[in-house]
């Protein structure tokens, strides 16, 4: 019964605490990747400051390293796996117990992005992508 509940939760894209750590679903990360870069690990935007599949800025790498004690590099932004890890660390630190919609707004607008009017459309795009599914 527990496995079925977990699978239903994953299908719905709901984040749940798991062993003391917030769950950031692959489904949310995949939707963020489509909205941010159209799934392009080599994407470069914002005057070459934001790069990779999740369009990560250098300041984000620095903040994630501070939070986690890890040593991600600017080059790591071009790796899907490492970009997803950095996003999870950021969202687990700043956006615990939030819906995927508000997590997406935090990703777009920083730790308090869920409060910013400017992130509403971005959050809606991510949610639409999650409902639509990732096109391959």
Quick: pLDDT tens for 101-123: 999 999 999 999 999 999 999 99
Cβ-based neighbour number of residue 22 at 10 Å: 17
Query: Is there a domain that residue 15 lies in?
Result: no
Axis-axis angle for helices 100-109, 26-37 (nearest 10):
40
Res 22: pLDDT: 62
Q: How many domains does the chain have?
A: 1
CATH of the domain at 72: 1.10.530.10
Please give the backbone phi and psi of residue 15, each rounded to the nearest 5 degrees, phi first. -95, 130
* pLDDT over threshold 50, residue 66: yes
Residue 47 placed within a domain = yes
Q: What is the pLDDT of residue 121?
A: 98
Q: Tell me the DSSP string of 17-48.
A: EETTEE---HHHHHHHHHHHHSS-TT-EETTT
Residue 11 pLDDT class (50, 70, 90 cuts): very low
Task: State what percent of residues in the chain have pLDDT above 90.
Answer: 76
Does residue 4 belong to any structural domain of this protein? no
> What per-residue confidence (pLDDT) applies to 110?
95
The domain of 40 spans 22-132
- Examine residue 16 and state whether it is found in any structural domain, yes or no: no
pLDDT of residue 53: 98
35 within some domain: yes
What is the pLDDT at residue 135? Answer: 54
pLDDT digits (tens, 9 = 90+) for 21-47: 568 999 999 999 999 999 999 999 977
- Residue listed under structure tokens 């995927």: 100
Measured distance CA(47)–CA(30) in Å, rounded: 24
pLDDT digits (tens, 9 = 90+) for 44-64: 997 789 999 999 999 999 999
Question: Within a domain: residue 8?
Answer: no
Percent of residues, the chain, with pLDDT higher than 70: 82
């Amino acid at each position: 019964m527990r496995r079925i509940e977990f699978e239903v939760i994953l299908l719905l894209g709901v984040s749940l605490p798991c062993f003391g750590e917030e769950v950031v679903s692959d489904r949310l990360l995949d939707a963020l990747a489509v909205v941010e870069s159209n799934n392009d690990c080599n994407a470069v935007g914002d005057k070459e400051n934001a790069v990779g599949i999740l369009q990560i800025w250098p300041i984000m790498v620095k903040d994630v390293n501070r939070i986690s004690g890890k040593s991600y590099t600017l080059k790591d932004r071009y790796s899907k796996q490492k970009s997803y890890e950095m996003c999870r660390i950021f969202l687990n630190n700043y956006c615990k117990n939030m819906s995927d919609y508000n997590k997406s707004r935090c990703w777009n607008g920083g730790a308090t992005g869920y409060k910013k009017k400017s992130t509403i459309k971005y959050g809606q795009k991510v949610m639409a992508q999650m409902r639509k599914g990732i096109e391959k």
